[in-house]
Amino acid sequence: MNEISPTAEPARSRRTRYSLEFKQRLVQASFAPGASIARLAREHGLNANQLFNWRYQYRKGQLGPVSPSPLLLPVDIIDAMAAPASTSPTPQTASRLELTLAKGRLSIHGRPDPETLRLVLQVLTA
């Protein structure tokens, strides 16, 4: 008769347990410009869906504190000739940036402080 005694160790799970550090490193690597999630997952013996799930958890703060990563937004480039004429002439060196996001519109004239711009974009895209 095959009985399992209460002191016997349970059968090992076939699932691989990955450390939090490993998940964080792989997610950070997936945010690099030009990174392929499928290739990265394949190189580490993962299913790409697992890496997408870790990225989702990371963004929600479930894999520890979220460190700043490049913020990528869709961009529409408008031809200067097609843009409406301004009432006041602007020097050629002036820069202007307009973003229309779900939570609001951001218009920047001149050269903003990069840290301030990053914080504003994080709030508007969160």
Amino acid found at 82: A
Residue 85 lies in a domain: yes
Report if residue 6 sits inside a domain.
no
pLDDT tens digits along 42-64: 999 999 999 999 999 998 888 87
User: How many domains does the structure of the chain reveal?
Assistant: 2
Task: Indicate whether 66 belongs to any domain.
Answer: no
Statement to judge: residues 115 and 85 lie in one domain: yes
Q: How far apart are CA 92 and CA 69, in angstroms?
A: 32
Q: What is the pLDDT of residues 71-119, one digit of tens each?
A: 566 667 776 665 555 555 545 556 777 777 666 777 787 877 778 777 7
Taking only the tens place, the pLDDT of each residue in 8-35 is 455 566 888 899 999 999 998 998 888 8
In a domain, 55, yes or no: yes
92/123 same-domain check: yes
Whether residues 125 and 76 fall in one domain:
yes
Residue 2 lies in a domain: no
Domain boundary among 59, 84, 112: 59
- Let me know how long the chain is: 126
Residue 116 φ/ψ, nearest 5 degrees:
-65, -45
Residue 91: give the domain boundaries: 71-126
Alpha-carbon distance 36 to 60, whole Å?
A: 21
Residues 80 and 126 in one domain: yes
123 and 100 in a single domain? The answer is: yes
5 within a domain of the structure (yes/no): no
Query: Same structural domain for residues 104 and 83?
Result: yes
CB 15 within 8 A of CB 40: no
